[in-house]
Structure 1
Amino acid sequence: MPYRIMVVDDSAFMRKIITDLIEQEPAFKVEGTARNGREAIEQIAALSPDLVTMDVEMPEMNGLDALKEIMKKHPLPVIMLSGINEQGVRETIMALELGAFDFIRKPSATTSSHDIDEVGRELREQIKAAMLTKQRRDARAEALRQVVAPELPTVAHKAAAEEAKPQAQIAPPAAPLEAAASQPLPPAKAQGAQPKRPTKTSLPSLDIRQVLDKAKAAPGKGFGEMGRRQSMTPERNQPIGDSELKVSGVLSLTPNPNPSRGTVQAEPSFLGTLSGTEAARERPVKSSKTGFTDIVAIGTSTGGPKALKAVLEKIPADFPAPIVIVQHMPPNFTKSLAQRLNSLTDLTVIEAEEGMELVSGTAYIAPGGFHLNVVPGVAGAYRTHLTKQEPCNGHRPSVDVMYESLLPLQALKRHIVLLTGMGSDGAKVMKRLYEAGVTSTFAESEETCVVFGMPRSAIELKCVSYVLPLHEIGPKLVQVVK
C-alpha cells in the first residue's frame, strides 16, 4: 500500500508539478491537495495522510501558522517548500524549529527541467527518510508500550474476581513490595522513577578512601554501581589512580571518556557531603577570548536547526571555547539560521567569513556553498578558512571537511559533536579523530533525533564517548570544557 501524501500550495500549477514529482516513486500517492493552511488542517483531519508538503507563503493562513496547528493537533512529518527570498528563508528556519522534518527550495515557473528533476529527486529522498524515521519511531513506541503497559485484567474482570472470593479472604496481599523489588523495572519506569532519599538519621557516613579503593577494584564497570550512568563506550573505562580524581563537594563518579587526559569529574549527588580540603571545588583556569585551549565542532543535517537551538541555548555567553558548526544547508539559509540562533541564545552566533579569528563564546556557522576549515593563525591564534572545493558526499559545506581540518590541531583540546542527520556524514572522520586522541566525542541519542543516521553511524564505529539526548549535550559540553 503506497504512502499517502498531501500537497499544500496556493498555486494550482505548483500543486500539479509537486504531485507529478512525488508520484514518480510508485510507493507514494498524493491523496489530496489544499490551497492554504486552513484547508490543509481540515483535509488532514479528514484524510489522515502520512506526510504533508507545505508551501511557506500562502494567503489566508501561511505555512508557518498551519504547521503550528498541525504539530499541536495532528503531529506528522511536514516538508516545507521554501522560496529563496529573504522572508521565505527566515520563515523556513522558524518552521524547522517548530518541528518541520526538512525543507526543499521551491521550483519556479522559470526553473529548468534539469533543476526541477533535481528538486524531485531531493523531495522523494526526504519523503523516504521521513517515512523510515516514522516507522522506526512507531516501532519503538509500540515496543515501549508493550514493556511498560503489558496486558492487564480489565476492571470488570477484577471486580468479578473479587466478588467470587469469600469475604474473609479479601485482604491485602502479603509483602507485595518484597517480591516486586526483586524484579527489574521496565526501562521507561526505571528512567522516570526517583530514588528514595535516605533520611538524615539513616544516611551512612562516607569514607572517600573506601570509595576510591572500591573504584580501583572494579576497573571494567565504569562506576555504574555508584549511581551514575555508565559510559556508552566500554573500551574507554579504564582503571584510574588517586591522582586522576577531582573531588567537588560531594561524590558521584563519572567514567573518564579519555583516560589519557586523566580526569574523572565529581558531581553532586545525595550520597553525602565531604568536609575539609577534600570538599574544595577546583576552580577552572580562565583564558582570554583568543587564548582558548579548547574547541567544539558540531556537525548536523536533517533536523539540525532545532537541534542546534536545543544545544546552544544551554551554553553560557562566557563559554571558554569557540564553536564551529556545519549544518548541511544551501546559501542564504545559513545566514538566516545564524541570525536566528544569535537572537535565541546567550552565545554570539555568526555566519563564518574567510579569515575570521576564532574567539571563545562565539559559534561560527559554515556558509552555504563553502567548506569550513579551522587553520592556525598568527601568534598561536586560529582562524576560519573557506573553500569551494568539490562537495563531499554531496554536501558543501561538509561535516567531514570541517572535522578533517581539526586532525592536525593537536595543541587544542577538541570536542566533536554529531547531531541528527541522514546518511553517515561525519562518522568516519570522527573515528579518525577519536583514534588520534581528541578529548571527547558526542552523538545525539535516537530518542531525540529527527533522523538517527549520522549519530548511529558514529556509534556503530565505536568512537563516541557520550551518547546523550539533546537537552543533555549542552550542559555536558560546558562540564567537559570548563
Structure 2
Amino acid sequence: MPYKVLIVDDSTFFRRRLKEILARDPDLQVVGEAKNGKEAIEQARILDPDVVTMDVEMPVMDGISAVKSLMASSPVPILMFSSLTHEGAQATLDAMEAGALDFLPKKFEDIARDRKEAIELLQQRVKAIAKRKSFSRTGIQATGRPRFAERVAQGKPPPPPAAKPVFMRSASARNQYQVLAIGTSTGGPAALQKLLCALPATFPYPIVLVQHMPGTFTSAFAERLNRLCHINVYEAQGGEILKPGVAYLAPGGKQMLVEGNKHAARLRITDTPKDRAMPYKPSVDLTFESVASVFGGQVLGVILTGMGADGREGCRKLKEHGAKIWSQDEHSCVVYGMPQAVANAGLSDAVYSIDEFADNILNEMRG
C-alpha cells in the first residue's frame, strides 16, 4: 500500500507540481490538497494521511498554527516547506518545535525545472517520515517530536531546561576524553535540543555538532539552542579555539574541520575538498575524520537520527584511533538511517534512546 499524502499550500502552482512529482513514485499517493491550515485540519481528519506536506505562510491559518492543532487532535508526520530566509528558518524551527518532523527549503525553481536531485530528495523525505506513522502503529511510541510540543499544542509554554548537578571531571575522564562529537540529520533539531538542553553549564569538554541544514537555518538554529541551553552554542565561523562548555555548530553549505593539536585545537570552515565527493554540506564524515586526526581516541562520538549513512566512515576513523561511538536506537529516531549504518557496520559501542543520551554522556565522561 502506498503512503497517503496530504499537500497543504496556498500556491496552486506549488500544489500541482508537488502532486505531479509525488505521483511518479509508486510508494506515494496524494489523497488530498488544502490551501490553508484550517482546510488542512479538516482534510486530515477525513483522509487520515500518513504524511502531510505543510507550507509555513498561508492565509486563514498559517502552517505553525496548523501543526499545533494537528498534533493536539490527530498527530501525523509533517514535512514543512520554508523560504531560505532567516525569518523562514525561525518559523520552520517553531513548526518543528510544535511537532513537525522535518523540513525542506521551498525552491520554486527546482520544482519548476524538474531537477532530478530535488525530485528524488523530496520523494525520499516524504517516504522517510511517512514511515514514522506506520512504525508507531506497531505499538511502539514514536518519539520524533519533543515532549514539550504537546505543551505548546495546548497553549502552554515549553518547560525550561532541567537543572543538572555541577559536573566534576575525574582524573580518569580527563585522560580519556577531550571532546564530544555529534552528527545528525532528519529529526536532528529536536534530538539535539533535547540532548544539549540537559547538559550543565559546567560541562568541561568542547562539543562539535554537525546537522544537515542550509546556511540560514544553522544560524537560526544555533541562536535558538544558545537561548535554551545551559551551555553556550554558536554557529562556527572559523578560527575558534575549542573551549570547554561550548558547542560549535557546523554552518550549512560549508565543511567544519578541526585542526592543530589536542592542546590547542581550532576550527576551520572551508568548502568541500576537491578530491572528496561529499553529498552533504556540512558532512559528519569530514568533521569526524578531522576530530580523529587531532584528538585520536580521546573522543566520544554520537550519531543521532538521520537519512543516509553520513557519519559511518567518520566513526570508522574514530574507532581506528580507539574512540568510543554511540548511536541512537530505532524507536526514538525520526529516520533510522545514519544510526543504523553505524550499528550495522559494527562501529557502535552502545545504543540509546534520545531520552537516555544526556545522562549516559555525563556518566561516561565523568570516568
- Is the Cα contact below 8 Å between 1:292 and 1:321 reproduced in 2? no
Q: Deviations over 1:16-37 (max 9, x none)?
A: 1222222222332221111111
For the pair 1:61 / 2:97, whether they are aligned, the reply is no
How many Å apart are 1:59 and its aligned residue? 1.8
Alignment of 1:386-425 (within 5 A): 386-389=269-272, 393-410=278-295, 413-425=298-310
**1:302 aligned residue:** 186
Give TM-score scaled by structure 2 length.
Answer: 0.85
**C-alpha displacement of 1:293:** 5.6
Provide closer, same or farther for how the CA distance between residues 140 and 405 of structure 1 changes in structure 2, counting only shifts above 3 A: farther
For residues 154-165 of structure 1, the aligned pairs below 5 Å read: none
Check conservation: 2:177, 2:365, Cα contact below 8 A: no
1:284/1:74 CA distance change after superposition, 3 Å: same
Q: CA deviation at 1:53?
A: 0.5
Counterpart residue number, 1:18: 18
Given that 2:5 and 2:50 are in contact with CA atoms closer than 8 Å, whether structure 1 keeps it comes out as yes
Specify which of 310, 316, 325 is matched with residue 209 of structure 2. 325
Asked if 2 retains the 8 angstrom alpha-carbon contact of 1:441 and 1:464, the reply is: yes
Task: Return 5+ residue gaps in structure 1 as ranges.
Answer: 143-281
Q: Secondary structure at the match of 1:346?
A: coil
Aligned partners of 2:352 and 2:296: how far apart in 1? 27
Aligned residue among 428, 448, 455 for 2:313? 428
Query: SS where residue 137 of structure 2 aligns?
Result: helix
* Cα distance between partner residues in 2 of 1:131 and 1:11: 23
Give the C-alpha shift of residue 292 in structure 1. 11
- Number of the residue aligned with 2:87: 87
Distance 1:320 1:292, change over 3 A: farther
**Corresponding residue number in structure 2 for 1:190:** none
Distance 1:138 1:287, change over 3 A: closer
Q: 1:125 and 1:140, CA in 2 relative to 1: closer, same or farther beyond 3 A?
A: same
In 1, Cα distance between equivalents of 2:277 and 2:226: 28
Amino acid at match of 2:126: I
Distance 2:256 2:79 in 1: 27
Offset at residue 103 of structure 1 (A):
1.0
2:236–2:251 contact (8 Å) kept in structure 1? yes
What percentage of aligned pairs have identical amino acids?
38
Of residues 310, 318, 322 in structure 2, which corresponds to 1:437?
Answer: 322
- Aligned-residue CA RMSD in angstroms? 2.6
* Match of residue 363, structure 1, among 247, 257, 280: 247
Name 1:119's counterpart in structure 2.
118
Shift of residue 119, structure 1, vs aligned partner: 3.2
Is residue 2:225 matched to residue 1:341? yes
For structure 2, which runs of at least 5 residues remain unmatched after alignment?
142-167
| Displacement after TM superposition at 1:117 (Å) | 4.8
CA contact (8 A) 1:320 1:481 kept: no
Distance in 2 between residues matched to 1:38 and 1:56, nearest whole Å: 13
Give the count of matched residue pairs.
338
> Deviation per CA, 1:200-226, whole angstroms, max 9, x where unpaired?
xxxxxxxxxxxxxxxxxxxxxxxxxxx
| Aligned counterparts of 1:427 and 1:471: Cα–Cα separation in 2 | 22
- Deviation readout 1:328-367 (Å, 9 max, x if unpaired): 1111111111011111111100000111111111100000
Q: Return the TM-score normalized by structure 1.
A: 0.65
Q: Do 1:292 and 1:359's aligned partners in 2 also have CA atoms closer than 8 Å?
A: no
- Alpha-carbon spacing, 1:286–1:432, altered in 2? closer, same or farther (3 Å): closer
Partner of 1:78: 78
